[in-house]
Structure 1
């Protein structure tokens, strides 16, 4: 029996999509439809529902790239069916990945860039976990060689992204997160010694702290670990979480030493889909030398047509993001990346100056010396309107902006900040419109003072 009578199909074939039989009823939401629908009609239903999402370009909470050139869209379409893991079937995609690893190793000053190890991942979180696993396995091998217990590994860090909390829980490692000191917004070198011991698998400084966008002092931490080794004999490695800064510092802050120039830095993770400018779903992990990636973490797979080593956590995944990373490296080069990120940094500086002029806020970070963006808090001496930063964030959502407000980490939870990321695609003109909307929000609360302000401790805390 046919799904539709021929006469019905003939009658409806030229109907306007919204006058069609398919869209004259509510589509099923939680059970699969019994009958098939027109591709155009099904597309329109999904397309219309997605209109209810926020505008990605106006999401200033996320570090992730939200604008791409037309050529990027073309290449993504062409790579839709390429499985990144199947290197036998898609050898040229695998070659592009290998070239990207070598380019990144060279960019990050690996001693022998052509002879290092690295891989693409679905994002920086997966890459971070790979780096952490390598630290743990190398530490365990050393402990067993010394006939010592490997039962209580720990990892030392400052205020880190949630992926490191996941790593610690999933892979049974104690996370020693150094509390913030008064006047500090990240881990400092002088704090390291009291948290490191013979069970420390590594120290993880962040090149672009999620909360405030500033770099933690990797070079100073490297020196502090040198002093610890002189006093105790403990040789503790560094993994740098350069999720954002790995694609910023080499172009804007060449005088900052944070990468493989420092001998203790054994591995680095970065997000291609952040300031690497690829679409979502691209991360990188690169090791200083082959010996820094334990052989035990490498699997050889031979059922896809050839013997292929793999050491990513995910298996099948699309190859488009890796192809785009290579495209960006060809398209932009070092000069192109510098120009783009410099423009973002200048826009961040402009935004910080304009927000300071409003008079209700104190600037915590002005976009200089770290990730392009701005971070601010309310003035301590009060302001008309009795509003909180959560109220400002809520008011800005009326205009479509997503600008997060949240407390700083442990020991400074009493400080609430608001933060904006300036990514490729956030123009000076858009920044000026945002400033006008912040001014309008402050003006609104001055004219309509809040008598029962939202409790900041109960406010929505979100960040990426």
Structure 2
């Protein structure tokens, strides 16, 4: 590569005659934590950063992530063309605002929101599901507080009931906005929230029960319909009106296409809000999320800011102010480009590739599959025998083949279960599924030839203990010899004195 930039300093005048990797900018280290004193050519800056980024994992082989890693070139062009648009400038970019509103309405209709054709859905685009959950949680908290104040009751100890398998963003919401998080513990063989136990934990201070449509642990959908039934009965008995929020970050763009008859959304009366990640199975690069409410009544108006939008009111409810427009535009592209048929085909293909991988893993005879058939297309599996080797060793060895497969322990009270999880995304082909299954089998066979880390550790401890024991024995013998020497010396002096 040849540098073509114009020299900006006298000592750079001959840089264009040198190759990039022979230039002093690439050979000499750049300060990591301070701004350099002088500018460097754009080619050199690019090369320095690009070289470091080569050490990152390959996104398409990152099977830990639910996040989209591939989009069509036409969408890439739209993204690049809109990178310099600040979404918050609604007066300047009215079309982008219109596209966001269209996405909200498409998603709300996909989730069976009870709105007429003349009505506009209530929702907003967010920076991933984390912001979406923060907004939904704030709406529940404010509605609960307003009602408690009107009733003359304390309103300083709100809580949310969830399963212990919730994503960390729920813990963030609870900590940041001073809400107690009451978690239903898991158990071996049942890795999602038990609706009955969740309803038992509901009290007068519960602002909502959060159900997950697609647990990050196993991909399983929680039983929102049963939760709705049990919570309806409790509300009747107590006079409360505890609502439900569905965290459909992973499953919101899966269930409508693979399981259309599954009732989990606004078809259930207590479901007041739903969040979904556009950058997961919404098939958009990170980071974009969406949150929609059942109706205007479920979003307190005091949380909504109203700005003038070309002579008309434009309500906005976000935690962020400035943010890019490109992901919103990309989401609209996917929704109209693929349509219901396209999303359905992609999700069916993901499910089929998950089946291929699952069968390949089962053929090894070494694993238990713990993910369910109905849920996010992923495969979660644990070792049948972990006495010699662990899933963490398997994950480490798979990296040598290029695969990034996460290994982790389950939340309380199932933390003694350790699993591997492979997320099947749109760009994970059948060929890759077959290759991964073959590589997993190779790793297992390789580990069979290696000593167990536990055995090695025990042997190491035994060796240290044995060595220490010998040293202790030697020291004791030495002490005995010293004592005998002094005894003889003292006895000899005594005899001499006599």
Structure 1 length normalisation: TM-score?
0.93
Q: Distance in 1 between matches of 2:366 and 2:331?
A: 41
2:237 equivalent among 228, 231, 239: 231
Q: Which residue of 2 aligns with 1:320?
A: 326
Q: Which residue of 2 aligns with 1:147?
A: 152
For 1:379-408, what per-residue CA distance to the aligned partner results, in whole angstroms no more than 9, with x for missing partners?
14x67xx11000001111112211111111
In the alignment, does 2:140 pair up with 1:135?
A: yes
1:395 equivalent among 388, 397, 412: 397
Q: Is the 8 A contact 1:101 1:119 kept in 2?
A: yes
Give the 3 Å change call, closer, same or farther, for CA 4–244 of structure 1 in structure 2.
Answer: same
Q: Is the 8 A contact 2:199 2:227 kept in 1?
A: no
Larger RCO, structures 1/2 (Cα 8 Å, 6+ apart): 1
2:129 equivalent among 124, 127, 144: 124
Q: Which residue of 1 aligns with 2:207?
A: 201
Q: Is the 8 A contact 2:272 2:294 kept in 1?
A: yes
Q: Which residue of 2 aligns with 1:377?
A: 382
**Which 10-residue stretch deviates more, 140-149 or 264-273?**
140-149
Q: Which residue of 2 aligns with 1:420?
A: 422
Q: Distance in 2 between matches of 1:376 and 1:245?
A: 20
In the alignment, does 2:178 pair up with 1:172?
A: yes
Q: Distance in 1 between matches of 2:419 and 2:267?
A: 34
SS in 1 for 2:131: helix
Q: Is the 8 A contact 2:185 2:412 kept in 1?
A: yes
Q: Is the 8 A contact 2:70 2:427 kept in 1?
A: yes
Q: Distance in 2 between matches of 1:427 and 1:3?
A: 49
Which structure 2 residue ranges, 5 or more long, are not aligned? 1-6, 458-498
Q: Distance in 2 between matches of 1:66 and 1:454?
A: 40
**Which 10-residue stretch deviates more, 184-193 or 272-281?**
184-193
SS in 2 for 1:245: coil
In the alignment, does 2:74 pair up with 1:75?
A: no
In the alignment, does 2:113 pair up with 1:110?
A: yes
Q: Distance in 2 between matches of 1:407 and 1:116?
A: 40
Q: Distance in 2 between matches of 1:350 and 1:265?
A: 35
Give the 3 Å change call, closer, same or farther, for CA 390–453 of structure 1 in structure 2.
Answer: farther
Q: Distance in 2 between matches of 1:87 and 1:356?
A: 53
Shift of 1:146: 1.2
Q: Which residue of 1 aligns with 2:284?
A: 278
Shift of 1:296: 1.2
- Tell me how large the CA RMSD over aligned residues is: 2.0
Q: Which residue of 2 aligns with 1:357?
A: 363
In the alignment, does 2:301 pair up with 1:295?
A: yes
In the alignment, does 2:94 pair up with 1:91?
A: yes
SS in 1 for 2:104: helix
Structure 2 length normalisation: TM-score?
0.87
Give the 3 Å change call, closer, same or farther, for CA 323–256 of structure 1 in structure 2.
Answer: same
Equivalent residue pairs, number: 448
The structure number with the bigger radius of gyration is 2
Shift of 1:303: 12
Q: Distance in 2 between matches of 1:175 and 1:128?
A: 14
Q: Distance in 2 between matches of 1:232 and 1:305?
A: 47
Q: Distance in 1 between matches of 2:187 and 2:379?
A: 21
Give the 3 Å change call, closer, same or farther, for CA 448–299 of structure 1 in structure 2.
Answer: same
Q: Is the 8 A contact 1:219 1:258 kept in 2?
A: yes
